[in-house]
Structure 1
Amino acid sequence: MRFQGYRAVVTGAGRGFGRSLAISLARDGAEVFLSARDFQAAEAVAQEVRHVGGRAHAFECDLADPESVREFAEAAGEVTDEIDVLVNNGAPYLDSGGFLEAEDAQVAATIAAGATGTVLATKAFLPLLLRSERPDIVTMVSGCGEYGNHRSEAHEGFYAAKAAQAGFTEVLSKRLRPQGVRVISLYPPDFDNPDPLGPEWEAERGSGDALSAKSLVDCVRFAIGQPRDCFIKSFYFEQA
């Protein structure tokens, strides 16, 4: 199994892409540490992982709450003494609906979880990552973090959170590389997310179709599976 012995943390793993990636990595041998704002959501995915023969641990973590982020890392540290992969996936989406229409609390929570949460989760898990011989930090930035991107219907606050993630991962990559940590960022446009446990997951993806979560999962698996002298820093995608 390709990722046998890997320990991977996936934030925002209670649904969507985080769930898909966690199930894929676990199927291929990784032990996964899953977080979600709702513990029951994380535990439900952990049960799915166990059902397909993987190892999983569920945690509650609100990325907008610094104390919750610290507690997540501390709880994971009680289970394992090192982490090989941190996937910064958790970030709430905020629809556009007009810049002035969004409530202040919604905008603040979006930026706090997506931007500050990513920084704090990385900070909290870095000591465990530095104990690994193959540490990787993967961040799902989204095309909204790409300079000049204006094609998404997302709210400006979501754009702000993703731009912050992009700037953070750029400088983090330069500063952690001497310590052997690869920082990998993905900038996908909107994409389809079929059920990773359903038959449509393995369906053939033809040219011209919308980007699939399976393709993004394959990108992550490819990047972290490369020898340590191969550093794939970013994945950018042309939007159809």
Structure 2
Amino acid sequence: MDFTGYRVVVTGAGRGFGRALAVSLGRGGAEVFVSARRFDAAEETAQAVRRVGGRAHAFECDLAEPESVREFAEALAETADAVDVLVNNGAPYLDGGFTEADDALVAETIAAGAAGTVLVTKALLPMLLRSERPDIVTMVSGCGEYGNHRSEAHEAFYAAKSAQAGFTEVLSKRLRPKGVRVISLYPPDFDNPDPLGPEWDAERRGGDALSARSLVDCVRFAIGQPRDCFIKSFYFEQV
């Protein structure tokens, strides 16, 4: 699908899936606004989008810090008058033993993944409501599914993702009457190659592991549907 004219915000886009999605949407014609905890990481992704012919803007945003979220929203509002899609991708991963993890990292994981997702959505909602096709996409993870215990992620990451799941569930109900689609993805752990490298296409050749490109295609498919088609959630069978 051609995403020319779409204005898309991707949080946590300095690396990983956020970077892959930003590059794909930028290649498809969207104007992409990417944020990361460090500005240089966001700018590196923005440059990658530009290399494939897209338009991109970089912002610094630490989702664990409310003031940083507010500054990001204010800077974004100076660049665009409206946003069509917000992708809540930013959420730090944490693994390791429950009692061994540093307390500060535990708090940061929950603050950024849970409170940060709520706050950035709250801050950008006025810009979304000025769009004729507003979508909020959240990369929740299988760790947000009730009863899921197959990931080796830390319990704090599970807590953050469960909070995202609860937030998007009620948000969907409350924003649907306003024309906002709230779309959540619950993938298990997945492979995530460089979107500009040869392995991005090669990963399609087979294998059982879920690929980042398949997740990118899910997002592109969902936001590209007519407004009467509301895909609320994507769940994935684990092998």
TM-score range, shorter-chain basis? over 0.9
Indicate the residue corresponding to 2:20 in structure 1: 20
Distance in 2, matches of 1:82 and 1:234, equals 25
Residue 134 of structure 1 aligns to which amino acid in structure 2?
A: R
- 1:94-142 Cα deviation digits (max 9, x unpaired): 00x2211111111100000000000000000000000000000000000
Matched, 1:231 2:230: yes
Distance in 1, matches of 2:207 and 2:46, equals 34
Distance in 1, matches of 2:205 and 2:145, equals 25
In structure 2, the gaps of 5 or more residues are none
Distance in 2, matches of 1:203 and 1:85, equals 29
Indicate the residue corresponding to 2:167 in structure 1: 168
Instruction: Kindly state the Cα deviation for residue 167 of structure 1 after the two structures are TM-superposed.
Output: 0.1
Residue 41 of structure 2 aligns to which amino acid in structure 1?
A: A
- 1:27-68 Cα deviation digits (max 9, x unpaired): 000000000001000001111111111100000000000010
Q: What is the aligned-residue RMSD (CA, Å)?
A: 1.0
Give the TM-score of the pair, scaled to structure 1.
Answer: 0.98
- 1:50-98 Cα deviation digits (max 9, x unpaired): 1111100000000000010011111011011000000000000000x22
Matched, 1:186 2:217: no
Residue 60 of structure 1 aligns to which amino acid in structure 2?
A: E
Superposition misfits of 4+ residues, deviation over 3 angstroms: none
What does 1:57-72 align with in structure 2 at a 5 Å threshold?
A: 57-72=57-72
Residue 167 of structure 1 aligns to which amino acid in structure 2?
A: G
Matched, 1:109 2:112: no
Instruction: Kindly state the Cα deviation for residue 194 of structure 1 after the two structures are TM-superposed.
Output: 1.2
SS in 2 for 1:35: strand
Residue 102 of structure 1 aligns to which amino acid in structure 2?
A: A
Residue 92 of structure 1 aligns to which amino acid in structure 2?
A: P
Going from structure 1 to structure 2, the CA distance change for 1:190 and 1:204 (only over 3 Å counts) comes to closer
Distance in 2, matches of 1:157 and 1:197, equals 32
SS in 1 for 2:204: coil
Distance in 2, matches of 1:80 and 1:98, equals 43
Distance in 1, matches of 2:116 and 2:168, equals 13
Going from structure 1 to structure 2, the CA distance change for 1:156 and 1:73 (only over 3 Å counts) comes to same
Indicate the residue corresponding to 1:50 in structure 2: 50
Distance in 1, matches of 2:100 and 2:225, equals 45
Indicate the residue corresponding to 2:90 in structure 1: 90
Instruction: Kindly state the Cα deviation for residue 19 of structure 1 after the two structures are TM-superposed.
Output: 0.2
Instruction: Kindly state the Cα deviation for residue 205 of structure 1 after the two structures are TM-superposed.
Output: 2.5
Distance in 2, matches of 1:226 and 1:216, equals 16
Indicate the residue corresponding to 2:11 in structure 1: 11
Instruction: Kindly state the Cα deviation for residue 192 of structure 1 after the two structures are TM-superposed.
Output: 0.2
SS in 2 for 1:203: helix
- Size of the aligned set, in residue pairs, is 239
Identity %: 85
Give the TM-score of the pair, scaled to structure 2.
Answer: 0.98
Going from structure 1 to structure 2, the CA distance change for 1:171 and 1:153 (only over 3 Å counts) comes to same
In structure 1, the gaps of 5 or more residues are none
Contact 2:203 2:211 in 1 (8 A): no
Indicate the residue corresponding to 1:152 in structure 2: 151
